[in-house]
Structure 1
Amino acid sequence: MAATGFEIEKFDDKINFNLWQVRMMAILVQIGLKKVVTRKKLENLNQTKWEELDEKVLSAIQLCLANTIL
């Protein structure tokens, strides 16, 4: 995944999911989005900002999935 500056093999159901999941979480940490997948809506964010962060996480994960999985 070149968009983040980090490389991760796209998950295609042939590689180890647990390893891919750890690497995906590490990427989310690096781009500041881990909090979105590990917590419910943060109290100090308005709905618009929360939805924006949620969309960013979704797109980051989707970009790391093979077409057959997506």
Structure 2
Amino acid sequence: MEGSGKKRSSRNTSSSRHRSTVSNAKFEVKKFDRTSNFNMWQCEIMDVLIQQELDIALEEKPYDMTENDWKKLNTKTYSTIRLCLTKEQKYFIMRETNAKEL
């Protein structure tokens, strides 16, 4: 309003209102059952692996990592992925032993 003497703030309040942080958040991924969008599910799984610092298991073993640590990391990664599958889908990967093979 003109003449009211009030100045509108030039700050964009909508962007500050929509800003949020994620810290120590629990991520939920709907279990893949072949009826949902696989690409979206895969993206969500990758995000979870990155947040848990498990995505390295999808690469080659780092030269400075012991075999025992690599095995633990790989097992944890594999388990995380399996937990996001329905029982029917787990059946197809039960024999896999490496996260890279999934």
Q: Same fold (TM over 0.5)?
A: yes
* 1:36 Cα offset (Å): 1.1
Give the counterpart of 1:52 among 65, 72, 92.
72
Give the aligned partner of residue 22 of structure 1. Answer: 43
State whether structure 2 residue 31 is matched by structure 1 residue 10: yes
Q: Which amino acid aligns with 1:44?
A: D
Unaligned runs of 5+ in 1: none
Q: Percent identity?
A: 35
* 1:29 Cα offset (Å): 0.3
State whether structure 2 residue 42 is matched by structure 1 residue 42: no
* 1:35 Cα offset (Å): 1.1
Moved over 6 A (4+): none
* 1:5 Cα offset (Å): 1.8
Structure with the greater alpha carbon radius of gyration? 2
Q: Distance in 1 between matches of 2:76 and 2:26?
A: 15
Q: Which amino acid aligns with 1:34?
A: D
Q: Which has the higher contact order (CA 8 A, sep 6+)?
A: 1
User: Number of aligned pairs?
Assistant: 66
Q: Distance in 1 between matches of 2:64 and 2:37?
A: 36
Relative to the length of structure 2, the TM-score reads 0.63
Q: Distance in 2 between matches of 1:6 and 1:52?
A: 21
* 1:26 Cα offset (Å): 0.2
